[in-house]
Amino acid sequence: MRTGSSRVSSVRTRVTGMLMVAAVSVTLIAGILPLSPRAESRGLRFALFGCSLVCVLMWMAVSVRSRRAGGVDLDKPVGPARRPSRSLPLLLAVLLPMTSGAALVQAVGPDGEQGRWVSEVYTAGGGVHEVPIERTVGEPRPTGVNVNGVDEYAADVVVTLRFDDSSRRTTIRGARTVGVPDEGDSVTVIYAPGRPGLGGRHHDSGFFDSGAALLWIWVVVFFAAAFGSGLFGRDEVHAARRFRGDVHGVAALVLCLGVLLLLPGAFFQTPTWAGWLLALAAACTPWLALAWVVKRV
C-alpha cells in the first residue's frame, strides 16, 4: 500500500485538481457571457485565465511529485480500489463545449470602424445612457421589426448629452424606438462624458445587441453538452486523470495555443473575417487536446 507521504501527495493532487476545475469553470463562464468591451471586462477575463493557468501548473507540479513518491506500507492491508467518478464524465461533457463556445463568443461584437469607436468610448470611461428625445429630424422610418405587437422605428433624433465640460445638443443617427418616436421618449446612447470629440451614437438594447450569433453559440454549446454527456465513459475518464507529462503537458500547450489565437482580437480591431477565423481555430483546440489525450492514454 502507499506510504503516508504518498497518501498526502494523493490528497494534494485531488485538492489542486478540484481548484483547477473550479478556476477553469469560472473562467469559461466569464468567457461565454456577453461582457461589455470595457478594459475592466478584458482585465477580468485575463485575470481569471491567469488564475486558471496557475491552478493547472500547481496540479501538474503536485502530480509529478506524487508519481515520484513511491514506496509500500507493509503494515497495513491493501484497501479497495476507488471506483471511477460519475461526475467527471458529465463535467468533461459540459466544459469542452463551453471552452469552444467561449472562444467563439470573443468574435461576437462590433467590428471595423464601429468596433474601434466603441473601444475608444469604453477606454475613455464611457458607457450607455438613457437620454430623452428633444425632437426628431425628418420622418421616422419603420424597421420592419415588431416588438410585442408594436412596430419599431428608426429616426435621427436630437438629444442633449452631458459631457464633463458642458452639455451639448447632438443629433443621433438611426436611433431606434418602439413606436413612433416623440418628444420626451428615451433612446439609448453610448458616449464618453470625458471625450466630447467622440460624440455619441445609438446603442442597441443591451443583452442581444450582438445579434443571433450569440444565441446560436449558446444553443450549440447546450446541445453539444447534452449529446456529449453519454459519450465519455467513466473508466476512460478515470484513466485520463493519471497525470503524464507527454499527454497532459502537450494537451495544455494545445489549449494555450487556442488562447494565443484569441489575443489579436482582444487587443486589436481585427477584420470580421479574421476575428471569426481565429475564433474558429481556437474553438477547435479543446477537441484536438482531447483527441491527443484519448490517443495516448
- The H or E element that residue 85 is part of is none
Q: How does residue 125 score in pLDDT terms, banded at 50, 70 and 90?
A: confident
Q: pLDDT tens digit string along 222-266?
A: 998 888 777 776 677 777 777 787 888 899 899 999 999 998 877
Residue 134: the pLDDT is: 93
Residue recorded with cell 478540484: 18
Q: How far apart are CA 290 and CA 224, in angstroms?
A: 15
Q: Measured between alpha carbons, how far is residue 109 from residues 112, 220, 269, 274 in Å?
A: 10, 18, 11, 13
Q: Measured between alpha carbons, how far is residue 8 from residues 11, 63, 78 in Å?
A: 5, 12, 17
Residue 288: the pLDDT is: 94
- The structure's pTM equals 0.71
Residue recorded with cell 475613455: 124
- HSE at residue 9, side-chain half, CA atoms within 13 A, is 19
Q: Which of 41-45, 206-210, 239-243, 281-285 has the highest mean pLDDT?
A: 281-285
The answer to whether the CB of 191 falls within 8 A of the CB of 200 is: yes
Mean pLDDT over each residue of the chain, to the nearest integer = 82
The answer to whether the CB of 164 falls within 8 A of the CB of 194 is: yes
Q: How does residue 72 score in pLDDT terms, banded at 50, 70 and 90?
A: very low
Pick 269 or 103 by higher pLDDT.
103
> Is the predicted pLDDT of residue 283 greater than 90, yes or no?
yes
